Amino acid sequence: MAIKLTNVSKKFKIPHEKRDTLKESFINFYRKREYVDLEALKDVNLEVNKGEFIGIIGRNGSGKSTLLKLLANIYTPTSGKVKIDGEVSPFLELGVGFNGDLSARENIYLNGVILGMSRAKIGSMYKNIVQFAELEDFMEMKLKNFSSGMQMRLAFAIASAAHADVYLCDEVLAVGDREFQKKCLAVFEDLKAQGKTIVLVSHDLDMIEKFCDRAILLDQGRIVTDGEASEVVAQYKA
Amino acid sequence: MKTFSKKNLRILKEIAISDFKVRYQNSLLGYFWTLVKPLLLFAVLYVVFSVFMRFPVENYQLYLLLGVVIWNFFAEATSIALRAFEAKESIIRKVYFPRIIIVIASTLTSFLTFLLNMIVFFIFLAVSDVGFSLNFFFFLIYVIELYFVILGVSLLLSVLYLKFRDFAHIWEVLLQIGFWMTPIIYPITMVPESFHRYIFLNPLARLIEYSRAVFVLDHIPEATLNINLLLMVAAILVFGIFIFLKFDKKITEWL
């Protein structure tokens, strides 16, 4: 078992009136603060086997991203348990920690270390990363002078060099031009072939159908359907 | 997951060093600014209190510079650490590693600046007529204690700031008050004896006074004084860690 969620709920307390300053807190001290509970996930149970490629679909606000952030340990569940076996690589967003004022080369190391690699490891893969990103001539340039497409290519190249057991992906496949997209997809196929566990959140239903063995459909924080990817997609479309 | 695993220590080092690079990168004088800022403050204070008004202190320039450098480290490190989570918001929202790493990295970045400043102090020391003494090594202990005071205060401030943004202003005012309530520009001997106990409730006052004793007066403060200071430092650090861990899990949601 790679991922196991038992009765996981996540509530966010959204204050009716925002009280961010001391003054507001003092003035309103005697008045009880009113909260609206936003239940992003309700009693979710999910088991994902090693080597499964699972897609998560659902409308905006259905809890997809919250689920992914719980898996990445960025949020802690309000109740229930999240258990993950192995190293997790969050592709939640590419280029975490990128700093525009540092050179591309320095950013590869910074981003790679944050993703859990050692400097030596990054050094040994450096050539591959740069080649994959097709940015050989720009490594001493400051990152802020990169176009957003170049930044994303670099970020994807680093992220795909990080080894993990469980990959969490949030809409990252829409990176770069067509040619580069093809390369990204190849990386995913490769990961799949290696038997990695991958969780993919996407609005791109074709991609879910093409890559995922299994999919779950979320609606208002609950899992509505869990099954064969093509069937779940068909139900969502209906 | 272990807080200080190899992986987390790598992240700590990487963030601390890259922030240090970036902090001064876009300025013409670069790292030079880390030296210019405290030196300018020092120069002004020196002119006012050594040329205009005169404090009856031998080697006043060393005395003053050491006070300014130590205080500057404390003030700068805590003010920057206060906003550490805000500054690293993009990382916090996307990757998990223990959040305490971010505060430690922030204070370590300031520590690097402090080290550069200390080089200047040692240059001043070398050209003065104060000779070298083995007592100097006692200063290393004070530096470590100073760092832990800063870390304790920073941990506390960093989470309080997320809850109440007012703390940015409150801390600014407190630092202003602290600068004058700490014997930085004036010698402690000018303060009436009856106030000393209050002045020395402030660990910075102790750290600065004891460091001066070691360098300028060439004598080591009594053991009881050193133990009191150590207990104070430990209390601040433990309190900081305690409050921090209490709110640790809420950091992402409060951002």
Residue A1 confidence class, pLDDT cut points 50, 70, 90: confident
Q: How far is CA B3 from CA B11, B97, B107, B144, in A?
A: 11, 8, 17, 21
Say which of B26, B91, B253 has its CB closest to residue A97: B91
Does B1 reside within a domain?
Answer: no
Task: Answer whether B252 sits within 8 Å of A21, measured CB to CB.
Answer: no
pLDDT in tens, A204-229: 888 888 888 899 999 998 999 898 88
Residues in A closer than 8 angstroms to B21, CB to CB, are 102, 106
pTM value is: 0.86
**Does B1 have pLDDT greater than 60?**
no
Does B80 reside within a domain?
Answer: yes
Q: Angle at which helices B60-82 and B32-46 pack, to 10 degrees?
A: 130
User: How many structural domains are present in chain B?
Assistant: 1
ipTM above 0.90, yes or no: no
Q: Which residue of A has its CA nearest to B162?
A: A20
Does B161 reside within a domain?
Answer: yes
B94 touches chain A (CB under 8 A): yes
Find the mean pLDDT for residues A54-73: 89
Q: What's the 3-state SS for chain A?
A: CCEEEEEEEEEEEEECCCCCCHHHHHHCCCCCCCEEEEEEEEEEEEEECCCCEEEEEECCCCCHHHHHHHHCCCCCCCEEEEEECCCEEEECCCCCCCCCCCEHHHHHHHHHHHCCCCHHHHHHHHHHHHHHHCCHHHCCCEHHHCCHHHHHHHHHHHHHHCCCCEEEEECCCCCCCHHHHHHHHHHHHHHHHCCCEEEEECCCHHHHHHHCCEEEEEECCEEEEEEEHHHHHHHHHC
The whole-number pLDDT of residue B202 equals 94
pLDDT in tens, A40-58: 899 999 999 988 999 999 8
User: How many structural domains are present in chain A?
Assistant: 1
**Does B167 have pLDDT greater than 70?**
yes
Chain A positions with Cβ closer than 8 Å to B: 12, 20-23, 25, 72-76, 90, 92-93, 96-97, 99, 101-102, 106, 109-110, 113-116, 118-119
pLDDT in tens, A110-154: 999 988 889 999 999 999 999 988 898 999 999 999 988 888 888
Residues in B closer than 8 angstroms to A25, CB to CB, are 164
Contacts of A231 (CB under 8 A, 6+ apart): A225
Q: Of B114, B121, B131, whose CA–CA distance to B42 is shortest?
A: B121
The whole-number pLDDT of residue A185 equals 79
Task: Answer whether A113 sits within 8 Å of B14, measured CB to CB.
Answer: yes
Q: Which residue of A has its CA nearest to B9?
A: A113
Contact in structure between A67 and A45 (CB atoms under 8 Å): no
Q: Which residue of B has its CA nearest to A170?
A: B94
Q: Which residue of B has its CA nearest to A87?
A: B1
pLDDT in tens, A158-169: 888 888 888 888
Say which of A21, A75, A102 has its CB closest to residue B166: A21
Domain at A23, CATH number: 3.40.50.300
pLDDT in tens, B22-43: 877 766 677 777 788 888 888 8
B246 touches chain A (CB under 8 A): no
**Does A180 have pLDDT greater than 60?**
yes
Residue A175 confidence class, pLDDT cut points 50, 70, 90: low
Residues in B closer than 8 angstroms to A142, CB to CB, are none
Structure-token match 């200071």, residue found: B229
- CA A122 and chain centroid, separation: 21
* Structure-block tokens of residue A205: 């239903």
pLDDT in tens, B60-106: 888 899 999 999 999 999 999 999 999 998 888 888 889 999 999 99
Residue A58, domain extent: 3-237
Contacts of B86 (CB under 8 A, 6+ apart): B161, B255
Neighbours of B168 (CB within 10 A): 14
Residue B105, domain extent: 6-254
Q: Of A8, A17, A20, whose CA–CA distance to A36 is shortest?
A: A17
A174 compared with A21, residue with greater pLDDT: A21
Structure-token match 């996540």, residue found: A10
